[in-house]
Homo-oligomer: A and B are copies of this chain.
Amino acid sequence: MRSENKPTGQKRSFIEEARRAQIIAAAIETIAGVGYPNASLARIAREAGVSKGVISYHFAGKDELMDQLVTGVYTEIAESVIPEILAQDNAADMLRAHVRGVAAYALEHRSRMAALAQIFIHARRPDGSPRYGVGESEPLFESLEGLYREGQKSGEFRDFDVRAMAVTQQSATDGMFEYWRVHPDHDLMAHAAELGEQLVRATRAD
């Protein structure tokens, strides 16, 4: 079905998209709820209230479903956070905006964030290697490193190892979300502000 004819009308395309969206939503809830390893297609289908076959009908396989989910959430996060970062006029504030922005998104879309984390950690290729693993984080690292270098060039930041800092920021952000997942009453935005402050202090010139 995937790659086929939507000859004339929009209704079909609409139904199709609605179902895909519904299935992705069910996948997000299921993964966030029971973890990726337990989120079988059968369970996702049950959550969506449809039969197992429906998923296979709308997606080429579990992998495509995950790809769509990841891409969708990723895009959404970027659209939400990037404008906030660009609105800042110095590197330190950009750092804070980055952390705060992602946290704000997570606060609004808790399951999406949890599912994304689960998929990143658990999804594997057939050969056993991670599907969205550290290898895939490279672009993220590089974008953070770009930000750091700007700050270093302008003299706002001290002269630190950008890769180590990127790993720290990325890990600390993920850790913050994981902590929040386990302690849902934790004040995420306060934590994000703290983390922003930590990063600013860790990076700023003497």
Evaluate contact between B175 and A191: CB separation under 8 angstroms: no
Over the window 22-45 of chain A, the binary record of Cβ atoms lying under 8 Å from chain B Cβ atoms (1 yes, 0 no) is: 000000000001110110000000
Q: Please, how many angstroms separate the alpha-carbon atoms of A33 and B161 in the complex?
A: 29
Chain B residues contacting A33 (CB-CB under 8 Å) are: 128
Evaluate contact between A175 and B171: CB separation under 8 angstroms: yes
Q: Please, how many angstroms separate the alpha-carbon atoms of A172 and B194 in the complex?
A: 15
**Category for how many chain A residues contact B:** 35 or more
How far is the CB of A151 from the nearest CB of chain B, in Å?
14
Over the window 153-164 of chain A, the binary record of Cβ atoms lying under 8 Å from chain B Cβ atoms (1 yes, 0 no) is: 000000011001
Chain B residues contacting A176 (CB-CB under 8 Å) are: 164, 167-168, 171
User: Is A129 an interface residue, CB under 8 A from the partner?
Assistant: yes
User: Is A145 an interface residue, CB under 8 A from the partner?
Assistant: no
Of A35, A170, A183, A202, most buried by chain B (CB within 10 Å of CB) is: A202
How far is the CB of A129 from the nearest CB of chain B, in Å?
7
Evaluate contact between B175 and A167: CB separation under 8 angstroms: yes
Q: Given contacts A121-B121, A171-B174, is CB(A164)–CB(B194) below 8 Å?
A: yes
Q: Given contacts A35-B128, A37-B128, is CB(A161)–CB(B190) below 8 Å?
A: yes
**18 more A-B contacts (CB under 8 A) besides A37-B122, A161-B191, A201-B201?**
A34-B128, A35-B129, A38-B124, A133-B182, A134-B178, A161-B190, A164-B191, A164-B194, A167-B176, A168-B176, A168-B198, A170-B175, A171-B171, A171-B175, A172-B175, A174-B175, A175-B175, A197-B202
